[in-house]
Amino acid sequence: MSFQLVFTDQYVKRATRFLKRHPDVEKQYLKTLQLLEINPHHPSLRLHALVGRLEGLHSVSINLSYRITLELLIQDQQIFPVNVGDHDAMY
């Protein structure tokens, strides 16, 4: 069962800025998105729900330093990426 990634204009702008600042992470970033479409619960993504001011969102890991926050709508098989960045800036 695959999922559909739904990219908002705001997310595309954030991702573009992120990739300009961190071109070395582009392959890992794209691999993360592909894996999200196939299986968002894959162990390497380290999917987890967020708490506090980001409650209602989830996070997946690109690598140990960078994350993607997302809105996970499993009932509709849709995933809406919200933001991408380093761990400290995201949380």
pLDDT single digits (tens) 3-50: 999 999 999 999 999 999 999 999 999 999 999 999 999 999 999 999
HEC letters along the chain: CCCEECCCHHHHHHHHHHHHHCHHHHHHHHHHHHHHHHCCCCHHHCCEECCHHHCCCEEEECCCCEEEEEEEEHHHCEEEEEEEEEHHHHC
Spell out the domains of the chain, with CATH numbers in brackets: 4-90 (3.30.2310.20)
pLDDT band at 70 (very low <50, low <70, confident <90, very high): very high
